[in-house]
Structure 1
Amino acid sequence: MLEKVKAFIEDCHLIDSGDYLIVACSGGSDSVALLHVLVKLAAAYPFTLAVAHVNHGLRGEDANHDEAYVKELSARLGVPCYCHHCDVQAFAKEHGLATEEAGRIVRYRFFHQLAFGHSQTKIVTAHHQDDQAETVLMNLLRGSGSAGLKGIRPKTGSVIRPLLAVTKQEIVDYLAEQNIVFCYDKTNSDIKILRNRIRLCLLPQLELEYNNRIKASLCRTAAILQDEQDFIEQSAQSLFEKVAKISGKGLFLSLTVQKAHPALIRAVFRLAIEKKQGHLKGIRFYHVEELTKMLLDWPVSSQMPLPRGLMVYKNYDNMEFTYEVRNLACGLYQPRTLQIPGVTMIPELKLFITAKILGQPPSQDSVIEAWFDYEQLVQPLFVRSRHPGDKIQPKGFVGSKKVKNLFIDEKVPQEQRPFIPVVYNAQGIVWLGGLRQSSLAPVASHTKIYLQLSLGYQEE
Structure 2
Amino acid sequence: MKKIEEKVFRFIDRHNLIEKKDNLLISLSGGPDSVFLIHFLSKFKKRFDIRIGAFHLNHMLRGAESDADEKFCARLADKLGLDFYCTKRDILSEAKKNKISVEEAGRMVRYSELEEIALENHFNKIATAHNCDDNSETVLLNFIKGSGLSGISGIPARRGNIIRPVLCLDKSEILSYLKISKINFRLDSSNLSSDFERNFLRNKIIPLLEENLNPNFSQTVFRNSENFRNLLSGIEETLERFVSGFVRKHQTEIEISKDAFLKLPEGFYGIFIKTILEKYLNIQASFVDVNKVLSLLDKTAGLKVEISGGYNVHNERNSLTIKRPLNSKDEIVKIKVGSEVVIPAGKLKIENVSASKIALTNKKNIEYISADTIEGDFELRCWKKGDKFIPLGMNHSKKVSDFLTDQKIKPSEKKSRQVLLNNQKIVWVIGERIDERFKVNKNTKRILKLTLN
TM bracket (short chain): 0.5 to 0.7
Counterpart for residue 90 of structure 1: 93
Residue 18 (structure 1) shift:
2.5
Could you tell me which of 107, 112, 126 is aligned with 2:110?
A: 107
The answer on whether the counterparts of 1:251 and 1:272 sit within 8 Å (CA) in structure 2 is no
Indicate whether 1:217 and 2:251 are aligned.
no
| Conservation of the 8 A alpha-carbon contact between 2:146 and 2:286 | no
Query: Which amino acid in structure 2 is aligned with residue 168 of structure 1?
Result: K
Question: AA paired with 1:203?
Answer: I
- Counterpart position of 2:303: 302
1:156 aligns with 2:155: no
Q: CA deviation at 1:289?
A: 2.5
Which residue number in structure 1 is paired with residue 52 of structure 2? 49
- Compared CA separation, residues 147 and 64, structure 1 to 2 (3 A): same
Of the candidates 186, 191, 195, which is equivalent to residue 188 of structure 1? 191
1:248 & 1:69 partners in 2: Cα distance? 50
Q: Report the equivalent of 2:321.
A: 320
Residue 361 of structure 1 is matched in structure 2 by: none
In 2 relative to 1, CA 285–49 (structure 1 residues): closer, same or farther, beyond 3 Å? farther
Q: Secondary structure at the match of 1:23?
A: strand
**3-state SS in 2 of match to 1:149:** helix
2:269 pairs, out of 265, 268, 284, with 265
1:180 counterpart SS class: coil
Q: Displacement, 1:19?
A: 2.0
Alignment of 1:200-239 (within 5 A): 200-239=203-242
Q: Secondary structure at the match of 1:259?
A: coil
Query: TM-score scaled to structure 1, two decimals?
Result: 0.66
- Say which SS state the counterpart of residue 175 (structure 1) adopts: helix
**Whole-angstrom distance in 1 between the partners of 2:135 and 2:223:** 10
Q: Determine the C-alpha separation between the residues in 2 that align with 1:114 and 1:201.
A: 37
How far apart in 2 are the matches of 1:110 and 1:190? 27
Q: Could you say if the C-alpha distance between residues 262 and 57 of structure 1 is closer, same or farther in structure 2, counting changes exceeding 3 Å?
A: farther
Is the contact made by 1:18 and 1:120 (CA closer than 8 Å) also made in structure 2? no
Does structure 2 conserve the Cα–Cα contact (< 8 Å) formed by 1:19 and 1:119? Answer: no
Partner of 2:78: helix, strand, or coil?
helix
Give per-residue Cα distances to partners, 1:392-442, cap 9 Å, x unaligned: xxxxxxxxxxxxxxxxxxxxxxxxxxxxxxxxxxxxxxxxxxxxxxxxxxx
Name the residue aligned to 1:292: 294
Give the Cα–Cα distance (whole angstroms) in 2 for the partners of residues 145 and 48 of structure 1. Answer: 38
Gaps of 5+ in 2: 328-453
CA distance in 2 between counterparts of 1:263 and 1:21 reads 42
Equivalence map 1:334-345=2 (5 Å): none
* TM superposition shift of 1:88: 0.8
> What SS does the corresponding residue of 2:147 show, helix, strand or coil?
coil
**SS of alignment partner, residue 5 of structure 1:** helix
SS at match of 2:166: helix
Corresponding residue of 2:403: none
1:74/1:254 Cα in 2 relative to 1: closer, same or farther (>3 Å)?
same
1: CA distance, partners of 2:176 / 2:160: 31
Match of 1:68 in 2: 71
**Amino acid across the alignment from 2:66:** A
How far did residue 322 of structure 1 move? 3.7
Shift of 1:9: 0.8
More deviation, 221-230/28-37:
221-230
In structure 2, relative to structure 1, the CA distance for the partners of 1:265 and 1:118 (3 Å cut) is farther
- CA gap of 1:263–1:145, structure 2 versus 1, over 3 A, is farther
Question: d(CA) in 2 for partners of 1:134 and 1:309?
Answer: 29
For 1:201 and 1:251, locate their aligned partners in 2 and report how far apart those are by CA, in whole Å.
Answer: 43
Q: Kindly state the Cα deviation for residue 6 of structure 1 after the two structures are TM-superposed.
A: 1.5
Counterpart AA for 2:299: W
8 Å CA contact 1:239–1:268 kept in 2: the answer is: no
CA contact (8 A) 1:6 1:41 kept: no
Q: Does residue 139 of the first structure (1) align with residue 139 of the second (2)?
A: no
Q: 1:184 to 1:92 in 2, by over 3 A?
A: same
How far did 1:310 drift? 3.9
Q: Give the direction of change, closer, same or farther, for the CA distance of 1:8–1:137 in structure 2 (3 Å limit).
A: same
The equivalent position to 1:19 in structure 2, one of 7, 18, 22, is 22
Q: Secondary structure at the match of 1:116?
A: helix
Q: Secondary structure, in 3 states, of the residue corresponding to 1:312? A: strand
Instruction: Give me the whole-angstrom Cα distance separating, in 1, the residues matched to 2:150 and 2:226.
Output: 12
Residue 246 and residue 69 in structure 1: after superposition, are their counterparts in 2 closer, same or farther (change >3 A)? closer
Aligned residues: 323
Give 1:319 shift: 1.6
Residue in 2 that maps onto 1:252: 255
Q: Which whole-Å deviations, capped at 9, do the CAs of 1:328-353 have from their partners, x for residues lacking one?
A: xxxxxx9xxxxxxxxxxxxxxxxxxx
Distance 1:317 1:23, change over 3 A: same
* Ranges in structure 1 where 5+ consecutive residues have no aligned partner: 326-333, 335-460
DSSP 3-state at the match of 1:215: helix
Structure 1 residues 109 and 247: CA distance shift in structure 2, 3 A: closer
Q: 1:226 to 1:114 in 2, by over 3 A?
A: same
Task: Indicate how the Cα distance of structure 1 residues 144 and 322 shifts in structure 2: closer, same or farther if over 3 A, else same.
Answer: closer
